[in-house]
Structure 1
């Protein structure tokens, strides 16, 4: 970041590969955002796997941002892809200071890991391992995640959030059914009479939507399966979508973080 600020603050999260990934935050910072790349498992002294999280950990990240002298106050935003997508919805729902959430190919339910709240908990939506498919040594997990509608206790109550949502959807996501999950989330908002969302769907675009000019990867090694996983998409439309999405999410965050 350059200049005196203040700058809009963003909590930036990735998915089930774990660890600390900073490159999107670095690009956000080069475009006028104070972006905190937040690891939540598989890094340093954090949990080693996707087992259980506590909302207080994410509250501390928001508090850390807002204490910085160069952060625009009193609110922040968040970005999450894949597992980070449902975490972004949870942050916007359970942390009042989070006023804008960018969801990239996530789920409308809390996936796999129990999320401990101040009062109660949000169970994790599980996988049916019997529905995993393996073709030529590559995992296809698209059918493996259980249907959130069959497990309503796992669904994040985003209709209660005092925040705005941006849903970015790859229409040929092979990791899981992102379009269905976005539609279910939007339906929930509509049924509650909310209009605090926008959605963009991208033809030919797979799961792994990265920053502009990042290489396209139809299949990638995944640390959880310890094997290649198919993410879907076709090279040209996927790369075009990455550029469009970058502009869309920056405009959205600028609009709603104040």
Structure 2
């Protein structure tokens, strides 16, 4: 009798699991599939072909996939290779507290190249992938101007405090904050436009709003007082870098695929106004898939005319971790991070670290998240290109998530030394 054994059946979404099949014929070729329906009813699927060993077993920790959506030994390949049945869908968990993603794992005793309702799996298993650990609290935030959701781990603390910023799609995105909080951080998922009573579109970046959020976090009785961290991506990473420079509350900043200058929208802090480098939309490219590639529309911060928009990263008081995907099709993020690192070095500063991942795209997220190569943007009439090679991107997500947590724990420790 064929059995599909998954251990554990319930886990956090960023935790690996073990998948085994037993009871097969020796050296039999089988198909493993995974399927997930998101909260909007959209289906994501993956499959891989394996050959049983002489005992009729397949252990994904050791066996190599022969074909399908990936090849080689990848124990979590069925998860990071999930792809939407309808193109240009991004897998985003919205309700992070009350329900998991349910993933159906099936094994078929033949090579299943196409879905067929006439073929039934030999064994199935439903697993749960949660975005909140036991005892985690989610506290809605409407404090002064600040809007978001605060995630607090169980226990008395005090915990390292982190602000989580996403980019140009706006709204409130919580899945990274809830996962990070499940590992012992107090995390504020911060909205800054297109959410509740915040501006519908981003016309300017007012750092005093982010300072208000930082002060709110620092004054929470269960958050460490030694400074906060920021984890940020895309436009959020531009803001995160500006926070590192101008806000003394920020002790550690993670910039994932961001820029080293202010682009498109002005950035202001008190009496200071940084004018942006305007976009040059005539350099927009259209990918063969139909998605828009905006990688070339941003002006070069190295040009003399754009120097007033370059962020003075050498003034940052805390530590900065730049994480970039070398196949980012949204921004020339590697070049921006290298320019920022050169700027730090030229001023005798050693508080920057660069992690550069060949083959990774723009949306570097927690491990085992599927690659989103392109997706719809609420402000565009066409899909938006993010880029990335599926296997390299998966490896980057797994490695960077470990480094993110190490970085935050190191530089948000109460005894951290001053630079």
Correspondence for 1:107 among 229, 236, 259: 259
- For residues 265 and 189 of structure 2, the distance between their equivalents in structure 1, rounded to whole angstroms, comes to 20
Q: Which residue of 2 aligns with 1:88?
A: 240
Question: Partner of 2:191: helix, strand, or coil?
Answer: coil
Question: Partner of 1:198: helix, strand, or coil?
Answer: strand
Structure 1 residue 187 displacement after superposition = 0.8
Structure 1 residue 88 displacement after superposition = 0.7
Q: Which residue of 2 aligns with 1:202?
A: 357
Structure 1 residue 126 displacement after superposition = 2.0
Q: Which residue of 1 aligns with 2:338?
A: 183
Q: Which residue of 2 aligns with 1:3?
A: 155
- For residues 198 and 8 of structure 1, the distance between their equivalents in structure 2, rounded to whole angstroms, comes to 20
Contact preservation (8 Å) 1:50, 1:112: no
Q: TM-score, normalised by structure 1?
A: 0.97
Structure 1 residue 96 displacement after superposition = 0.2
Q: Which runs of 4+ in 1 moved over 2 A?
A: 223-226
Contact preservation (8 Å) 1:29, 1:35: yes
Correspondence for 1:134 among 286, 294, 308: 286
Q: Which residue of 2 aligns with 1:147?
A: 300
Larger helix fraction of residues: 1
- For residues 129 and 166 of structure 1, the distance between their equivalents in structure 2, rounded to whole angstroms, comes to 30
Correspondence for 1:26 among 171, 175, 178: 178
Aligned residue pairs total 258
Q: Could you list the runs of 5+ residues in structure 2 that have no partner in the other structure?
A: 1-152, 415-419
Q: Which residue of 1 aligns with 2:366?
A: 211
1:77 aligns with 2:229: yes
- For residues 226 and 124 of structure 1, the distance between their equivalents in structure 2, rounded to whole angstroms, comes to 24
Q: Which residue of 1 aligns with 2:130?
A: none
Contact preservation (8 Å) 2:172, 2:189: yes
- For residues 132 and 195 of structure 1, the distance between their equivalents in structure 2, rounded to whole angstroms, comes to 36
Structure 1 residue 111 displacement after superposition = 2.2
- For residues 242 and 45 of structure 1, the distance between their equivalents in structure 2, rounded to whole angstroms, comes to 33
- For residues 202 and 276 of structure 2, the distance between their equivalents in structure 1, rounded to whole angstroms, comes to 10
CA offset digits 1:60-83 (Å, max 9, x no partner) = 100110111100113101011000
- For residues 134 and 87 of structure 1, the distance between their equivalents in structure 2, rounded to whole angstroms, comes to 28
CA offset digits 1:131-171 (Å, max 9, x no partner) = 00123521011111111122111111110111100010101
Q: Could you list the runs of 5+ residues in structure 1 that have no partner in the other structure?
A: none
- For residues 199 and 59 of structure 1, the distance between their equivalents in structure 2, rounded to whole angstroms, comes to 25
- For residues 162 and 220 of structure 2, the distance between their equivalents in structure 1, rounded to whole angstroms, comes to 12
- For residues 307 and 283 of structure 2, the distance between their equivalents in structure 1, rounded to whole angstroms, comes to 21
- For residues 214 and 202 of structure 1, the distance between their equivalents in structure 2, rounded to whole angstroms, comes to 16
Structure 1 residue 222 displacement after superposition = 1.7
Q: Which residue of 2 aligns with 1:173?
A: 328
Higher RCO by CA contacts (8 Å cutoff, separation 6 or greater): 1
Question: Partner of 1:84: helix, strand, or coil?
Answer: helix
CA offset digits 1:97-153 (Å, max 9, x no partner) = 101000100000122221111122112222101000123521011111111122111
Correspondence for 1:156 among 311, 322, 332: 311
- For residues 149 and 171 of structure 1, the distance between their equivalents in structure 2, rounded to whole angstroms, comes to 19
- For residues 381 and 237 of structure 2, the distance between their equivalents in structure 1, rounded to whole angstroms, comes to 22
- For residues 394 and 159 of structure 2, the distance between their equivalents in structure 1, rounded to whole angstroms, comes to 28
Highest Rg: 1 or 2? 2
Correspondence for 2:190 among 34, 38, 56: 38
- For residues 57 and 254 of structure 1, the distance between their equivalents in structure 2, rounded to whole angstroms, comes to 25
